[in-house]
Chain A
């Protein structure tokens, strides 16, 4: 396995280091590039600064040269303006120039002395200058070199500063080639001329420098042509300069810090013609070609040329490394170093990550191998499971088919100990019922509850908790609002199972019973309607019965009324027709009684009997009429005690006649009753008269009144329509008890029938008690007659109903409690 992995390992090593290398290259390149561009920029900046400086220095130098040349020019002008210049005049003029410190080393006056005039000149000089004066070869004094033979000599005649350079007096400038060339050039051109760099003569040795001369021609003589100029030349004004002093006076050498300064005598930069070299501040002047050569390799330089009295000079500025070093910063290096460090850091970090990756890869490889092993096991298991799943799928498909196609939804509902709820399973058919996808319900167990109508929700929740508590089957009907806004009735039922974690799982089914419910509701409504109709019918039946009863009663009353009306009409007619004859008879009897003197007492007695008979007949008629017109009475609120008193007064005559003693036992607390006073009086009178007739003379008659509340049902007390008295109603009872013979049992039933009398032919009409009964019935009262339990005689019991208005009732209660 290792062998086979070998190339792979190489590849992975390459893979491992490739990004590192790339990163290193990239980092270094970037660093170098940064360094390079920053350096470049700095160099450019140094170059610009350098050029500006060089330019300024060149300008200064040029200006200084012009100023120095002007001194020669001014000295010449001095000669031109004066015919002769005395030594003292020259001295004063030179003093003035030296005081300006322009860098001039010497100022000389060099006259032209023709060889022919040599001796004369020296003679004059001995007189005027010094006896030791003589014209000589330059530098030839010490060596005793004899003066060469030349057509013309140019001896130094005046020299300033005199003390320092008096040894130069008499030096023939024509003896030196460079000097002679300069002088001849100036003579021929009439212009200022200079020498090439030459070694200047001095006491201490020679210094490098240059001479400048200007020709002075004899005044009033022409010098326009070459010939004229050669002919009329008087002499030369000559100045000498030490080059180093000249440069130092011309330039601010402090500015040359770190810059090499080269001056060439000529139009080009050429080592041959190097005139002056200023290396750096305080550096010694050198014109060593080697050194010059080594330092010529600078990145940049500045070269400029200008004319010095028609002789071209060239200046070269070259910055030294120190100059550049001073103007460069460490930034490029810093950038470079930072770049390197960053690169190193990133490489390190990358290595770390890669190392980690390799580690992980190793772990992955190990795990992979483990996994592949278990994979094989799993494959086997999967195979087994596939088979099981296939079986399950068939079964599940069947279940799903059942769950999806039954008219409702199958579900599992879990209530956890923390109170949270979930639907682990909800068949897809729920969406048909509620409009909520089963997936949504499985994700959010509270969702179905949000669709339950708020008025049903508490009952649903309560019943679930109750089912959880009692572990009994949950069954509930409730309403929901579907997603489409429709109200549906659902019936859900499920059986609870306790799970090991304390949760309770219900397996159940939800049915859409909306149609059923509506049918049920409709049925209920119909039932209710039916019930109401039935009740209405029952009520109607009851009403009908009542009406029928009333009708029957009314009919009876009508028949009675009709009967009475007939009797009444009959009675009225009969009464009129009987009463008139009676009236006539009565008048006749009166007439007889009044007209004749009746001696026979029997006749008078007969007439009186007749009169009584008429009165009785009249009373029969009146009673008959009364009987016939019972229903016409008007009722007023009366006290029965006082009516009884009045009635007793009415029958007082009869009482006294029969010597009957009346024992009154009246209750003081009788409530008022609404009655027809005359009729009731008639009742009392009738009964009293009846009683007198039954009662033996000298006996007692007991009259009792009291009020009571009826308690028990029985007799005439009851709740039927035909019952006169109701239990609990208040009544007044009037009892009239006689001590007569009583009433035989067989007559007790007949005694109140009309025209029944035991005194037929003795003045009894048979209407008295019948009228009493009718009047009592008219007042919703009753009359009874019973034989006394103790002793002889009978008792008539009259019972009056008290109409209990509130006012009446209060009065009664007060009276009763008071009495």
Chain B
């Protein structure tokens, strides 16, 4: 069985590294990390992940906006995205996630940091096996 490709986008580089190590150790995953939201789409296009774990509050480009770009890509639109954020409030998530066409774009599910690796893997597995949401309309 081939490893599932997981793209982790988070501006905390240390967290990304630790998460990559834990995920690859714990599950049969191939994890790529990206610390810039603006690069997420480009990396995803190349990497072709099976699932994307996306931070929301990032300095250059908000996770929501980045997720929106990915969902609008013809090849990537079926890739499930999990938001993993330190923002506990939905209001904050909307506020900091970036505005797409005048409204915030929050793709579910959202998992709050800090999270135990076990819990996250459980969550990833659930979403991998889940049929993918249709692409959001613009």
Q: Could you list which residues of chain A lie within 8 angstroms of chain B, going by C-beta atoms?
A: 572, 575-580, 582-588, 590-591, 594-595, 611, 614-615, 618, 621-622, 625, 629, 632
Contact A583 B86 (CB under 8 A): yes
The answer to whether the Cβ of B91 comes within 8 Å of any Cβ in the partner chain is yes
CB distance from A725 to the nearest CB of B (A): 33
Q: How far, in whole Å, are A595 and B20 apart by their CA atoms in the complex?
A: 13
Q: State which of A584, A611, A622 has its C-beta within 8 Å of the C-beta of B18.
A: A584
Binary CB contact string for chain B from 96 to 114 against chain A (1 if under 8 A, 0 otherwise): 0000000000000000111
The stretch of B21-29, B43-51, B73-81 that contacts the partner chain: B21-29
CB distance from B23 to the nearest CB of A (A): 10
CB distance from A771 to the nearest CB of B (A): 15
CB distance from B13 to the nearest CB of A (A): 10
- Tell me which residues across on chain B come within 8 A of A590, comparing CB atoms: 18, 22, 116-118
- Tell me which residues across on chain A come within 8 A of B112, comparing CB atoms: 579, 618
Q: How far, in whole Å, are A582 and B115 apart by their CA atoms in the complex?
A: 9
- Tell me which residues across on chain A come within 8 A of B18, comparing CB atoms: 584, 587-588, 590-591
Q: State which of A576, A579, A595 has its C-beta within 8 Å of the C-beta of B114.
A: A579
Contact A611 B88 (CB under 8 A): no
Q: State which of A578, A591, A625 has its C-beta within 8 Å of the C-beta of B89.
A: A625
Q: State which of B12, B87, B88, B92 has its C-beta within 8 Å of the C-beta of A584.
A: B12
Binary CB contact string for chain B from 110 to 129 against chain A (1 if under 8 A, 0 otherwise): 00111111100000000000
- Tell me which residues across on chain A come within 8 A of B114, comparing CB atoms: 579, 582-583, 585-587, 614-615, 618
Q: State which of A579, A585, A611, A629 has its C-beta within 8 Å of the C-beta of B86.
A: A579
Please report whether the interface of chain A is mostly helix, strand, loop or mixed according to DSSP.
helix
Would you mind naming 20 contact pairs between A and B with Cβ atoms under 8 Å apart?
A572-B92, A577-B86, A578-B86, A579-B114, A580-B12, A582-B113, A583-B86, A585-B114, A586-B113, A587-B117, A590-B18, A590-B117, A591-B22, A591-B25, A594-B117, A618-B112, A618-B114, A622-B88, A625-B89, A632-B91
- Tell me which residues across on chain A come within 8 A of B113, comparing CB atoms: 579-580, 582-583, 586
Contact A583 B115 (CB under 8 A): yes
- Tell me which residues across on chain B come within 8 A of A621, comparing CB atoms: 88
- Tell me which residues across on chain B come within 8 A of A578, comparing CB atoms: 86
Contact B15 A629 (CB under 8 A): no
Contact A594 B26 (CB under 8 A): yes
The answer to whether the Cβ of B41 comes within 8 Å of any Cβ in the partner chain is no
Closest to B11 in A: A580
Contact A584 B89 (CB under 8 A): no
Q: How far, in whole Å, are A585 and B14 apart by their CA atoms in the complex?
A: 10
- Tell me which residues across on chain B come within 8 A of A588, comparing CB atoms: 18
A587-B22, A591-B22 as given contacts; A611 in contact with B15, CB under 8 Å: no
- Tell me which residues across on chain B come within 8 A of A586, comparing CB atoms: 113-116
Contact B22 A629 (CB under 8 A): no
Q: How far, in whole Å, are A577 and B25 apart by their CA atoms in the complex?
A: 27
Closest to A575 in B: B88
The answer to whether the Cβ of B33 comes within 8 Å of any Cβ in the partner chain is no
CB distance from A730 to the nearest CB of B (A): 35
Contact B15 A594 (CB under 8 A): no
CB distance from B116 to the nearest CB of A (A): 6
Closest to A572 in B: B92
CB distance from B68 to the nearest CB of A (A): 21
Interface core residue of A576, A614, A629 (most chain B CB under 10 Å) = A576
Closest to A621 in B: B88
The answer to whether the Cβ of B52 comes within 8 Å of any Cβ in the partner chain is no
Closest to B86 in A: A579
The answer to whether the Cβ of B57 comes within 8 Å of any Cβ in the partner chain is yes
Q: State which of A587, A595, A614, A618 has its C-beta within 8 Å of the C-beta of B19.
A: A587
Q: How far, in whole Å, are A632 and B90 apart by their CA atoms in the complex?
A: 12
CB distance from A577 to the nearest CB of B (A): 8
- Tell me which residues across on chain A come within 8 A of B15, comparing CB atoms: 580, 583-584, 587
- Tell me which residues across on chain B come within 8 A of A575, comparing CB atoms: 86-88
CB distance from B93 to the nearest CB of A (A): 10
CB distance from B117 to the nearest CB of A (A): 4
- Tell me which residues across on chain B come within 8 A of A576, comparing CB atoms: 57, 86-87, 92
Known A-B contacts: A584-B15, A621-B88. Give 11 more (CB < 8 A). A572-B92, A575-B87, A576-B87, A579-B113, A580-B12, A582-B113, A585-B114, A587-B117, A588-B18, A594-B22, A594-B25
- Tell me which residues across on chain A come within 8 A of B118, comparing CB atoms: 590
CB distance from A293 to the nearest CB of B (A): 177
Closest to A586 in B: B114
CB distance from A570 to the nearest CB of B (A): 12
- Tell me which residues across on chain B come within 8 A of A632, comparing CB atoms: 91
Closest to A595 in B: B25
Q: How far, in whole Å, are A586 and B118 apart by their CA atoms in the complex?
A: 11
- Tell me which residues across on chain A come within 8 A of B26, comparing CB atoms: 594
Closest to A568 in B: B89
Closest to A579 in B: B86
- Tell me which residues across on chain A come within 8 A of B88, comparing CB atoms: 572, 575, 579, 621-622, 625
- Tell me which residues across on chain A come within 8 A of B19, comparing CB atoms: 587
CB distance from B83 to the nearest CB of A (A): 13
Those 6 A-B pairs whose CB atoms lie nearest each other, nearest first = A579-B86, A583-B113, A587-B18, A586-B114, A583-B114, A590-B117
Q: How far, in whole Å, are A389 and B14 apart by their CA atoms in the complex?
A: 139
Closest to A622 in B: B88
CB distance from B53 to the nearest CB of A (A): 12
Q: How far, in whole Å, are A54 and B106 apart by their CA atoms in the complex?
A: 171
Interface core residue of B89, B115, B117 (most chain A CB under 10 Å) = B89
Q: How far, in whole Å, are A582 and B22 apart by their CA atoms in the complex?
A: 16
Interface core residue of A578, A585, A590, A614 (most chain B CB under 10 Å) = A590
Contact B86 A580 (CB under 8 A): yes
CB distance from A142 to the nearest CB of B (A): 205
Q: How far, in whole Å, are A591 and B25 apart by their CA atoms in the complex?
A: 9
Closest to A576 in B: B86
CB distance from A611 to the nearest CB of B (A): 7
Closest to B14 in A: A584
Q: How far, in whole Å, are A595 and B118 apart by their CA atoms in the complex?
A: 14
CB distance from A797 to the nearest CB of B (A): 31
CB distance from B89 to the nearest CB of A (A): 6
Interface core residue of B19, B21, B92 (most chain A CB under 10 Å) = B92
Closest to A632 in B: B91
Q: How far, in whole Å, are A618 and B86 apart by their CA atoms in the complex?
A: 10
A584-B12, A584-B14, A595-B25 as given contacts; A572 in contact with B117, CB under 8 Å: no
Contact B87 A629 (CB under 8 A): no
Q: State which of B25, B91, B116 has its C-beta within 8 Å of the C-beta of A611.
A: B116
- Tell me which residues across on chain B come within 8 A of A582, comparing CB atoms: 113-114
Closest to A629 in B: B89
- Tell me which residues across on chain B come within 8 A of A585, comparing CB atoms: 114
CB distance from B123 to the nearest CB of A (A): 14
Q: How far, in whole Å, are A185 and B11 apart by their CA atoms in the complex?
A: 215
CB distance from A311 to the nearest CB of B (A): 181
CB distance from A264 to the nearest CB of B (A): 176
- Tell me which residues across on chain B come within 8 A of A611, comparing CB atoms: 116
Q: How far, in whole Å, are A253 and B117 apart by their CA atoms in the complex?
A: 196
Closest to A618 in B: B114
CB distance from B57 to the nearest CB of A (A): 6
A587-B22, A591-B18 as given contacts; A572 in contact with B89, CB under 8 Å: yes
CB distance from B24 to the nearest CB of A (A): 10
Closest to B25 in A: A594
Q: How far, in whole Å, are A576 and B96 apart by their CA atoms in the complex?
A: 11
- Tell me which residues across on chain B come within 8 A of A615, comparing CB atoms: 114
- Tell me which residues across on chain A come within 8 A of B21, comparing CB atoms: 591, 595
Q: How far, in whole Å, are A649 and B104 apart by their CA atoms in the complex?
A: 35
CB distance from A566 to the nearest CB of B (A): 15
- Tell me which residues across on chain B come within 8 A of A622, comparing CB atoms: 88
CB distance from B95 to the nearest CB of A (A): 8
Contact B91 A629 (CB under 8 A): yes
CB distance from B102 to the nearest CB of A (A): 22
- Tell me which residues across on chain B come within 8 A of A618, comparing CB atoms: 112, 114
- Tell me which residues across on chain B come within 8 A of A572, comparing CB atoms: 87-89, 92
Q: How far, in whole Å, are A615 and B86 apart by their CA atoms in the complex?
A: 13
Q: How far, in whole Å, are A591 and B23 apart by their CA atoms in the complex?
A: 9
Closest to A580 in B: B86
